[in-house]
A and B are shown apart, each in its own frame.
Chain A
Amino acid sequence: EPEVTQTPSHQVTQMGQEVILRCVPISNHLYFYWYRQILGQKVEFLVSFYNNEISEKSEIFDDQFSVERPDGSNFTLKIRSTKLEDSAMYFCASSEYGPGMGEQFFGPGTRLTVL
């Protein structure tokens, strides 16, 4: 069964460094999403992406964040200058459809640790 995959599973970085989290959505899906979960807190929406542009973003998704679909298969989340509070689990999700019956399929997550 097709799955969303994410790499790396765990990323450790120094504060101020740039990180890129990678996701490979399910191949026929058109809508892509990033969520994050700070340890012990709820999963929070970051951004949705469709037709090569951001559809919507939350207040968390500030200028330090960017997303890209560089090659038609990968979907990346870049954090330009990481802060301690960026430490979290980051989940990628994809869906075949938009609103309607579309279900989001989630990846296993990347645990980001900022030191």
Chain B
Amino acid sequence: AQTVTQSQPEMSVQEAETVTLSCTYDTSESDYYLFWYKQPPSRQMILVIRQEAYKQQNATENRFSVNFQKAAKSFSLKISDSQLGDAAMYFCAYRSVLTSGTYKYIFGTGTRLKVLA
């Protein structure tokens, strides 16, 4: 079964600095999707960035980028030029295709990011 591990329960970063959130996963599948979701307090989860496993190029989305190491099963999120609005819970997720043809997300436990002014 697939698992997702986020080893950093909490991280802090100074405004305008860069921070990297870690995520490792375990799977026997060769083709899959990985995601980072952001959950601000009392708000819904918002997709930050997505990576298809068959793509070697790391996904980027403005100030957000990933370091995807398929062999190491590592999927870290880098936030550059951190802003106060980046403060949130960040979840790493693996998308697992179910036998029915639908799919489910397998989430890590999350990393709470604090941005210091």
**A contact set with B: CB distance below 8 Å:** 3-4, 31, 33, 35, 41-45, 48, 50, 55-56, 58, 91, 93, 98-99, 102-109
Contacts and interface: CB of A to CB of B under 8 A. Distances in A.
Contacts of A102: 103
Contacts of B105: 35, 43, 45, 93, 104
A81 B28 CA distance: 38
A3 B106 CA distance: 22
Interface of B: 4, 35, 37, 42-45, 47, 50, 91, 97-110
Contact of B102 (A48, A105, A106): A48
Contacts, number: 60
Contacts of A42: 4, 107-110
A99 B97 contact: yes
Contacts of B104: 33, 45, 48, 56, 58
B100 A55 contact: yes
A4 B47 CA distance: 13
B45 A106 contact: yes
A99 B103 contact: yes
Given A43-B91, A56-B102, A91-B45, 8 more contacts: A45-B105, A50-B100, A55-B102, A91-B44, A99-B97, A102-B103, A106-B44, A106-B45
